[in-house]
A and B are shown apart, each in its own frame.
Chain A
Amino acid sequence: DIQMTQSPASLSASLGETISIECRASEDIYSNLAWYQQKSGKSPQLLIYAANRLQDGVPSRFSGSGSGTQYSLKISGMQPEDEGDYFCLQGSKFPFTFGSGTKLEIK
């Protein structure tokens, strides 16, 4: 199975700050990577797919980058509504596997 190593596990950011979350795959996943936001008690919401494609309706302060085994999600200008858990998903090879998640809080 492809292992997805996500970092950091938690992050505290000030309003307006730019933050990054990383996911490293144990093998090349050919940009088959998605990023999700999950708020407490809610289902995951798709932010980014195909490593860098912004899902419709997602604010442009969210962006994704990367290739091969290294990927990142950037939030340019932290907003209060961005608090939550973030995780990555690789869809390159079965079984699909998820990163362990990053808890993002307002400082």
Chain B
Amino acid sequence: QVQLKESGPGLVQPSQTLSLTCTVAGFSLTSYNVHWVRQPPGKGLEWMGVIWNTGGTRYNSALKSRLSISKDTSKSQVFLKMNSLQTEDTATYYCARGRGYLDYWGQGVMVTVSS
């Protein structure tokens, strides 16, 4: 069945770079797009960006200068890198399979930005 699972550090220091991995199963990254979405504690959801099945990317302009999404199709993994982290980047980060909507989401990974 379709599964997505995020992994990465739970704690990142301010000004450092966040690196997350989304490992997928049950579908091919050559056929589906994968999005990243984040949710600060007790707050709403923010769409961050997408990597198309073709490998192209699109980012939220609010994050574009800090964000990079890539993938390794052979390993069924999608990668998120975001630099210059600040405390307001503390959030649960989700990857989700998407077309015009996001149909399957990972369990999320909580990332705290703190010294």
Contacts and interface: CB of A to CB of B under 8 A. Distances in A.
Contacts of A43: 94, 105-108
A62 to B, nearest CB: 15
A21 interface: no
- Of the four ranges (under 10, 10 to 19, 20 to 34, 35 or more), the interface on chain A belongs to 20 to 34
Nearest to B105: A43
Interface string B94-115: 1000111111111110000000
B103 A97 contact: no
Main secondary structure of the interface of A (DSSP, over half): loop
B46 A98 contact: yes
Contacts of B103: 46, 49, 55
B106 A101 contact: no
B41 to A, nearest CB: 11
Contacts of B56: none
Chain B contact patch, size range: 20 to 34
A47 B40 CA distance: 23
B54 interface: no
Q: Of residues A32, A87, A92, A94, which shows the largest number of chain B Cβ atoms within 10 Å of its Cβ?
A: A94
A59 interface: no
B105 A44 contact: yes
B74 interface: no
A49 B101 contact: yes
B44 interface: yes
Contact of A50 (B35, B101, B106): B101
B78 to A, nearest CB: 16
Contact of A87 (B44, B61, B94): B44
A-B CB proximity, top 3 nearest: A34-B101, A96-B47, A91-B100
13 contacts: A32-B101, A34-B102, A43-B105, A43-B107, A44-B45, A46-B102, A50-B101, A55-B103, A95-B62, A96-B47, A98-B44, A98-B47, A99-B44
Interface of B: 35, 44-47, 58, 60-62, 94, 98-108
